[in-house]
Amino acid sequence: MPQTEAFRSRFGPLQHECSLTFDGSAYDLVTSTTALRLIARSHRNIVGTKHGVAFRRALAAGWPMTAAPLKLDILAPLSGVLIPLESVPDQAFAQKLVGDGVSLDPTSAELLAPVEGIVTQLHSAHHALTITTGGGIEVLIHIGIDTVLLKGEGFKPLVTRGEYVQAGQALIAFDADLVAGKARSLLTQVLIQDAEKLARLTSRSGLVKAGRDVILSLEMHASAAVGANLAAVGAAPVYSAPVQLPNPGGLHARPAAVLAAAAKKFKSDIRLVRGSDEANAKSLVAIMVLSTQQHDTLRIRAAGPDAEVAAAALARLLGEGCGEAEPPGTAPLPPRAMSTQSAESAASAATDSGDGKELAGISASPGLAVGRIFQLRQEAIEVVEVGAGAQHERARLDAALHEARQQIEALKANLDDPAKALILDAHQELLEDPDLIDLAVATLGSNKSAAFAWRAAYNSYSSRLAQLDNPLLRERANDIRDVGRRVLAILAGIKQARIVVPEGTILIAEELTPSDTATLDRSRVLGFCTTTGGATSHVAILARSLGIPAICGIAEAALALENGTLVVLDGGKGRLRRDPSAAELSQAHQRMARQAERREQEKAAAGAPAITTDGQRIEVAANVRNADETREAVAMGGEGVGLLRSEFLFSDRDTAPSEKEQAGAYQAVAEALGRQRPLVIRTLDVGGDKPLAYLPLGAEDNPFLGLRGIRVSLDRPELFRTQLRAILRAVPFGNLHIMFPMIATLDELRAAKRILAEEQQATGLSAKVGVMIEVPSAAVMADLLAPEVDFFSIGTNDLTQYTLAMDRGHPKLAAQADGLHPAVLKLIAMTVAGAHRHGKWVGVCGGIAGDAMAIPVLIGLGVDELSVAVPAIPAVKALVNRLSSVDCRALADEVLQMATATEVRERLAAFAE
């Protein structure tokens, strides 16, 4: 490119701080094109207010103004011994979360520039800096481990941010003895932060001399070597277009967690702006404290190397409601449940009966229960205020945060509905919240203990949320206290045990945390009431998921009820009646008996096959995540696993699972099923709404139409091959089937089968192969796909959203994305016809497979298998046993002629009566 344009491209972000003098005249680089033309002729007279020296040195040194080199050598910044990053005693560095490169155990104490470039970042603690080269490669040098806690003590910077430096130039001097005595380690990391630009990175080993020996050799992709990217230096922030927030409850915990997680994928500093107020978009707590409301006008402000992409992507996410939709199966909220204040008003009222024996609250989870009161009191956790030094206490805090994350992951496994696990995902996001952690770390510097600092930090944030006008965000203060108390208990050495109560308990508490609710013993706890919260609280959502009758916001008089008091809890009406009469007890027991009898009958018969009244066999399998759920499915009458969601092995971790780890997990599921029952393992299904932190897929305008499902596997063949080998290793232990997700074309299927064939030949093992029918093209082409596979499984959730062009997570459209729409049913019919024509079986593993209203029409369309959530297995089998396949076929023929989902549902409702 011409030198003028190259200079503008390279130094444009700095123009507002620089000027040029030429032949005695001054030219403002902000607006002057003439100045750039003069630079092309001569650079000898450049001066500047801040970066002029950098420009003069850069130009004098022949700073490249054309394409950057394809190869780059990185020199040793210190003398010493090189060691691999994997050996560094810090998870972030060892797992290459900060960048790829090498570590150095230093014998010198003056950091030299490993490359020529501009200092684009100098940490305020002076222990780390970044140099950006002429090719736009960012090289981070980080002296020591946990040296940020020294707050600059022992470090002397010799350069400033924005300064041009030559390779070998002194950057930072430090007192090695002082730093080594106070920090965890002097190991110095040299990291490349632009991994996507690299075709290859080669690291050296052994002894090296500062400024002389090469420690890293980089080879860039050709596409990455065109010009430099110094946008981070002094760059003006980028603002997104205004976005009107669609979320009915504002950015409460779940959508805020989605936004924070997305923001963390970008390097830029990102702020959520509303008028004159702003919040760190990478901080879940900060976003919630901003107390946004529906229809608020928000903007994203980003400053840094990927600012434009970040601002656009996050603004789009905001406009889409950050994926918020009411989780499936969640009961609609009654109008009175929209605020805690209204709940308190309702609860403070007397009772319908007027006899003073009934307490009112908010219906949090429907159901009826008769039991005796047990009052739950929360114990205070004592902490020591004085710590053992900032470094030691920071290590304790980090360890506690890590252990808390593992505990929450274990809790998520207790939830039958993965959608409800999103609540605990928000808790895990809080454990990584930068503002919350920074507040605690700042207190450590005052010689406080980790427990004292952490308690002060989370109490500060929960108090701020509790004082907000938004009732939904006030309820989120409970989530912060829950997470905070969990970490505090770990720091205090207190093991958080399950809540132990007598049998037949109705639990009463001022407040229950989501963690408390998830660990309730359903064999003993029949229901619960809390004086705080409402139907929108996470505790209420979890109660509905677990099937526990519950009331939130009940009158505080409930706290005065004596243990052992007999009560009737009506979760649907939000009423708690103490000392019921004999007639009231009899009526309640009759209602409960009818419900329980039907459930028990279904469970008792669940071991028998599901056969219609006229002899058609329908296999009922389970959708599971692991071996524990598989064993539960078998006990509930499951006839196999129709969908093993393998992505749960890959999520909530920093690296992909190894072949050995995967094989062990698949083998455990196979052994839980036995050799006869089929096990269908879906290969990795990520992308779109299911990203992985360690598998960056790049920003996409529409990720649902980009790299998803099998496309990710074909794009990352080594990851795909590792999984296929792991699945094949489990073949000797069960009846294994491999299923490819999101197949849209015959070419994709054949490409996946070629890779599988190679791995089958290498291992000498083989399995049956099938595809998920999730996109309309696959359904339309079912007749051509069927000869290539052994079976089909229809994922109705995705098939519905792609057929109707409606995001099933969209807050305004989710209700219209109905799997019983005639268009979806016709695609199911085409899929079944195409498969059966070639003698292949068809299952349905999507949401409507467990929908009692949908099951008759699915049978009528010819579906052979229904794969459902584990708890639904007995009810589904019982329903199949009551149906006639002839009647079901007639019903299917009828609804296929209808025009709307509403018409279909009305007909199916009439059929069920």
Please give the Cα distance from 542 to 417 (Å, whole number): 9
Q: Verify whether residue 845 is a known catalytic residue.
A: yes
Q: What secondary structure, in 3-state letters, does 98-156 show?
A: CCEEEEEEECCCEEECCCCEEEEEECCCCCEEEEECCCCCEEEEECCECHHHHCCCCEE
d(C-alpha 382, C-alpha 452), whole Å: 9
Q: How far apart are CA 619 and CA 72, in angstroms?
A: 60
b/e map 377-402, b = 16+ CB within 10 Å: eeeeeebeeebeebbebbebbbebbe
Contact 462, 480 (CB under 8 A): yes
Q: How many CA atoms lie within 13 A of 11 on its CB side?
A: 32
Q: Which of 127, 538, 810, 821 is catalytic?
A: 538
Q: What is the Cα–Cα distance from 319 to 302, expressed in whole angstroms?
A: 17
Separation of alpha carbons 188 and 442, rounded Å: 24
The structure tokens listed for 547 are: 């099937």
Rg (CA), the chain: 31
Burial of 173 (0-12, 13-18, 19+ CB in 10 A): middle
Integer Cα distance of 742 and 748 in angstroms: 9
At residue 132, φ and ψ (nearest 5 deg) are: -105, 125
DSSP 162: T
For the packed helices 421-430 and 471-491, what is the interaxial angle rounded to 10 degrees?
A: 70
Q: How many helices and strands (H and E) does the chain possess? A: 31, 38
**CA end-to-end distance (rounded Å), the chain:** 75
Residue 462 CA to residue 467 CA, distance in Å, equals 9
The two structure tokens encoding residue 432: 């990584």
Active site residue 538: yes
Q: What is the rounded distance in angstroms from the CA atom of residue 596 to the CA atom of residue 506?
A: 18
Catalytic residue among 18, 322, 529, 845: 845
CA–CA gap between residue 147 and residue 182 (Å, rounded): 8
Residue numbers annotated as active site: 538, 845
